[in-house]
Amino acid sequence: MIRVTVLGGSGYVGGELLRLLLAHPEVELKNVVSRTHAGKYLFKIHPNLRGRTQLRFTPLDITAITQDCDLIFTATPHGSAMNYIPQILQQGVRVVDMSADYRLKSPQDYVAWYGWEHKSPALLAEAVYGLPELHREKIKNARLVACPGCMAAATILALAPPIKYDLIEEKRVVVDLKIGSSGAGAQPTPASHHPERAGGVRPYKVVGHRHIAEVEQELNLLGSKPVTVSFTPHAVDMVRGIMATAHTFPLRPLALPDVWKVYRDYYSKERFIRLVKDREGVYQLPNPKILAGSNYCDIGFELDPHINRLLIFSALDNLMKGAAGQGIQCMNIMSGFNEAAGLGEPGIHPV
């Protein structure tokens, strides 16, 4: 049993962490921090938790929340967690950071991609990128785990096998993503306002998206040559979910059995990766609709002989395998628990 605190518990990722932690067989939830909602019951902000807990949000006090605590999730806005994490680590408490603050290894990358100077650059080398399928052994002994961005997670998981096995052109990778509104966070903006978003498909940050930095960083650890990724997201009319479609170009002739073998070999022992390529039914390829509330990433593929193209499809729930579920998975690994503890639920169907 470990004692856990959530710092930044009022947002969508924070709420999903609370839902999972309250049901986790090996966790005692000690504190949930929110400066805006301090004193309120958790269920006043997260109504799905009514009847599950009588905990209230607490104000931010690092000294107080690190007492009697083994691990803290930081689910604060980008650029905030680095103000608190060094002090938390000094108190001997481990951290799983849900923000972007420690995902990148180079301080210069934060200037280039986020537009700010990192306040604790010495910790970047120590932080472990929280994608178990790539870094499980490092996560086991980490003090600080930096969970991936949701679209980055979908993209990396789709591309890792063909990059690892040098199947595709490393400079010709084009990824098109569709993401639900919860990916924009709990605070509405004009672009996320329902009348503007509903019924539409809105491309945004069509070049230079921040997640490119972590995608290329992680894929470049796998391949024999530097990888360059083109990456364009679209806001679509769903609440949860990401659908990534990667257009790649094989270096040699491939048949479907070759692709199956690569993905089966790479993910054969991965509890939360499912390969989806069926010949019948509605869901013949991955679809985020059936993954809501689950920690699975579904991956499928198709060959296009017309132009020698390998299409790769990757779907996940952005609040689960793209955020809170991934964080719980990392916590389980860090704590020596069953990796699937608290994460066994399948997606909901229909939604």
Mean pLDDT throughout 311-336?
A: 98
Dihedral over Cα of 7, 10, 12, 14: its sign: positive
pTM of the model: 0.96
How far apart CA 80 and CA 13 sit, in angstroms, is 15
How far apart CA 150 and CA 323 sit, in angstroms, is 6
My answer on whether 168 and 40 are in the same domain is: no
* HEC-encoded secondary structure of 188-227: CCCCCCHHHHCCCEEECCCCCCCHHHHHHHHHCCCCCCCC
Q: What is the CATH number of the domain that holds 287?
A: 3.30.360.10
My answer on whether 277 and 155 are in the same domain is: yes
Query: Quick one: pLDDT at residue 181?
Result: 82
Q: What is the CATH number of the domain that holds 135?
A: 3.40.50.720
Do 46 and 18 meet the contact criterion of CB atoms below 8 Å apart?
A: yes
Helices 150-164 and 132-140: crossing angle in degrees, nearest 10, is 100
Query: Quick one: pLDDT at residue 135?
Result: 98
Whether 150 is catalytic is yes
My answer on whether 179 and 124 are in the same domain is: no
Q: Which of 129, 248, 227, 230 is nearest to 177 (CA)?
A: 230
Query: Quick one: pLDDT at residue 266?
Result: 98
My answer on whether 164 and 300 are in the same domain is: yes
Residue 122 lies in a domain: yes
The strand ranges marked E within the chain are 2-7, 27-33, 57-58, 71-74, 94-97, 128-129, 144-146, 173-179, 201-203, 229-236, 242-248, 273-275, 297-304, 309-316
Banded model confidence at residue 189, pLDDT cuts 50, 70, 90 = confident
Place of tokens 């980055």: 152
| Bridge partners, 57 (sequence order) | 32
> What is the tens place of the pLDDT at every residue in 240-298?
999 999 999 999 999 999 999 999 999 999 999 999 999 998 999 999 999 999 999 99
My answer on whether 136 and 167 are in the same domain is: no
Q: Which of 147, 150, 297, 330 is catalytic?
A: 150
Domain that holds residue 270: 151-316
